[in-house]
Structure 1
Amino acid sequence: MRLRVPVGDADAFRERADRALVALAGQRGYGSARLGRAVDEPELWVITSEWDGVGAWRRALSAFDVRVELTPLMAYAVDEPGAFEVLLAHDGVTGVVRRGSDVA
């Protein structure tokens, strides 16, 4: 999910995002999550996360503690698709991994 955060809100946003990532990490099917900020455009942030599948992600979003922490961040969300499935990956060790789509 991409977010546009005014520079003056950055510290409070970062603290809230930290709590949201901790809440996500407690959910079944969680793999990892990251918070990043654009180097050339400091108001543009991104939260990325990896899950066992689309179902795990959707179930995590319905958890109460995740909603409490993530919902306030949505005020900064850029209106665009925010969930993508990985169909091709390369990790530098095992080489290219191709995956089928979960989209019906």
Structure 2
Amino acid sequence: MNNPPTAPEVENFWRRIYDEPRSLFRDTPALVQFENFFQARNQDLQVELCEVVSEEEVRQALVGAKTNFSGPGPDSINSINNWWWKKFPSTYRRLTKVYDS
């Protein structure tokens, strides 16, 4: 690659993906199927609710990770990607939404 993207260009690329809301139609077949699957699975698991995760907690967990290239931990984040997670804070808000959902 002759002209690799700069860090700000990469950051902006991911920011556009994670920060811009996408419109979905409620009656999209895949969404209906997923909702039915999730509701059935949720009933089976009797999921215990936990406290809301803050964006600051996500930031601290990612920045405080000791290693960048190891297997996934209890949070299921694959540490091989920790270097990327640490470098692009625009993803923290999206990860917070994922953990809170």
User: Where on the TM-score scale, by shorter chain, does this alignment land: which range?
Assistant: under 0.3
Q: Normalized per residue, which structure has more helix?
A: 2
- TM-score w.r.t. the length of structure 2 is 0.27
Between Structure 1 and Structure 2, whose CA radius of gyration is higher? 2
Q: Normalized per residue, which structure has more strand?
A: 1
